[in-house]
Amino acid sequence: MTMTEFLLARIQEDEDAARAADLKVGDPRWFVSRVSTTVPQKYTVRSTWCLRPIAKVQDIESVDPFPDPSGVLDGGAAAAHIARWDPARVLAECEARREVVMSADDGVLRALAAIHSDHPDYDPAWV
């Protein structure tokens, strides 16, 4: 498998996942709404098309008397991240990445391939 083929396959996987998550073709945008102000705060990611909930996220805090920062999740930040990567954004990114892959030199392709270095088809020789 060439580096170009590898990258095009990863782009196709992202595109397929975005299309599967799209509630209505042509309007796959998401937004965040806060549903509680109590602790922990709760957030819902919704479709702009039908307001249907896509995901529910809440703040998570460590119950340890000596909190570990890695055990804390800002639910609002997580929900914003989910909404930011809505199907419309992913599909646009896929289109742009496909154009780059088809026209770029190997140096740029190496950088894009490195993002997927944990994939079983990744070839360490591409580095």
What is the model's pTM?
Answer: 0.80
Vertex 104: Cα angle to 101 and 108 (nearest 5): 90
Which residues are within 8 A (CB) of 10 and not within 5 positions of it... i.e. 6 or more apart?
116, 119
Q: Is the pLDDT of residue 66 over 80?
A: no
Range from 23-27, 34-38, 71-75 carrying the lowest mean pLDDT: 23-27
Backbone angles phi, psi at 11, to 5 degrees: -65, -45
Q: Is the pLDDT of residue 56 over 70?
A: yes
